[in-house]
Amino acid sequence: MACLIARRRRLLLLRASILAVFLAGFAFPSVSAVSYRRPRRRPDLHVARRLDENDSTPQQVHISMVGSDKMRISWITDDPTPATVDYGTASGNYANSSTGTTSSYRYMLYNSGQIHDVVIGPLQPNTVYYYRCGGNAGRQFNFKTAPPTFPIKFAIVGDLGQTEHTNSTLQHISQSSYDMLLLPGDLSYADFWQPRWDSFGRMVEPLASQRPWMVTQGNHEVERIPVVHSSSFTAYNARWRMPFEESGSTSNLYYSFDVAGAHVVMLGSYTDFGPSSAQYKWLQSDMAKVDRSKTPWILALIHAPWYNTNTAHQGESESVDMKRDMESLLYNARVDVVFAGHVHAYERFVSLVFPNSLVKNNISKDKADDCGPVHITIGDGGNREGLATKFRNTGGEKISVFREASFGHGELEVVNATHAQWTWHRNDDGESVCSDAVWLTSLSSLTSCKA
């Protein structure tokens, strides 16, 4: 309700500018959007090591969930230090300790720091834990585990980068009482310059050390250079290890996990996805194992969107061909929502879209289906490349119900087994403005959608 009131107020105040928006091509008859002045492009930020830190100080700390009751703690030091985490439920009182592994990587002339990876647990749900890394008494961190069941709130944002826009987005996310962050690819925008990975790790540490960040890769994580550096995802795989083994995956590029009452599937747009690929066979197996009595909700994340009315990133194989090969698996499993990034704008499609994978690059021939997933593009985290401001007039049936080229983030609050609320929060002049909101019903609760 608060979102709708705020939105109506802004519509009233900015009525005079709506006509200009239509003339600029940012809106069309079936799309609801609020007009405002577009933010200027902002330069990259570089977050350096703090002056009070030395080569043994833990930095770039982030956490990710492992199984139902464990947490992976990852951090970097410049010098070798123990891969240990001391932790407990009282500040300064570390009753437990776990030991993990240390690794590093080389990328052309760049040598990474010592990357430490420790899994701790078992942990109690919905509980605050305090921890320190490598026995370093100078820095104490804390995190809260996810709740055992509903309600649970996800913060969702893609294409983050590290600009002033990114910083604004992170500040807004920090003000929400979220339990877990989901990121559908394009993290640091290092783009081969590895020190940017270090800067990104420092930038997100205040949030990523307190709540689990579950991520998948985008095109900016590939970082493959023929002949010079022939391996893909070197930095991403080394720095952002996800719990892929626990879901039977053989690759850090795709995996799944259960949290509260949701089954979350993280797919890889930039690794093989065809019917004979390992990812495709894994997804088949993973979908067959889902028990909707335990996880009434299924969420999926990809990077390149399968539905897109923006003029940017049309006709790419990672969108068109992956949709052709994999969409039926998600549709038949009654996946509720598919989140994507890649396009630097926000777009939400009509409640549930039917898979029409034989149609290439023609959004007007796709049809609504009450038993298909909602597709949401959330590639507007704050990257340095700027916004994708031009949308197409789709013609025919309008399946895109809200689209806007603005930076921001989304929140999905799964209230119970049947209902969840999705809200999109635009970064507007340094404030988080709730600009789109919709209630969703889980497909597992609809008799007409029983598979």
Instruction: Please spell the DSSP secondary structure of 297-348, one letter per residue.
Output: EEEEE-SS-SS--BSTTTT-HHHHHHHHHHHHHHHHTT--EEEE-SSSSEEE
Question: Is the alpha carbon torsion for 369, 371, 372, 374 positive or negative?
Answer: positive
CA–CA distance, 117 with 103 (Å, rounded to integer): 8
Question: 303 and 186 in contact (C-beta within 8 Å)?
Answer: yes
In terms of Cα–Cα distance, which of 206, 140, 219, 212 is closest to 175? 206
Instruction: Please spell the DSSP secondary structure of 248-259, one letter per residue.
Output: T-S-TTSEEEEE
Specify the residue for token string 């930076």: 407
Known catalytic residue: 344?
no
CA–CA distance, 425 with 274 (Å, rounded to integer): 35
Q: Which of 62, 172, 313, 409 is catalytic?
A: 313
- For residue 62, the one-letter residue type is H
CB atoms within 10 A of CB 280: 18
In the numeric block, which tokens belong to residue 371? 């038993």
Determine which helix (DSSP H) or strand (DSSP E) holds 279, and give its type and residue range: helix 278-289
Question: Is the alpha carbon torsion for 435, 62, 297, 375 positive or negative?
Answer: positive
| Residues designated as active site | 313
